Structure 1
Amino acid sequence: MPVGSPGMEVAGTPPETYDVIIFSAQDQRVFARYRGTQAI
């Protein structure tokens, strides 16, 4: 889990950007992108 994502907060450390990926039998794609808990 990236720093700053829910449950992974670290005082004094800036949150990382991460993608939420959705999967199916045929495909995978980015569903959402976050920096910490904020959607970007």
Structure 2
Amino acid sequence: MDEIVMNRFASAFYAIERSIYNWFISLYERVKRWH
């Protein structure tokens, strides 16, 4: 695989991972507020 393609995949995966992480944090904060 090309190095540029690998870097693109890595950055895309990192962005997806961060958005999922932020979504879980916001969900956790919402649940914590209810109880």
**Does the alignment reach a TM-score above 0.5?**
no
Q: Whose strand proportion is higher, 1 or 2?
A: 1
TM-score, normalization by structure 1:
0.17
- Quick check: which one's helix share is greater? 2
Q: Which has the higher contact order (CA 8 A, sep 6+)?
A: 1
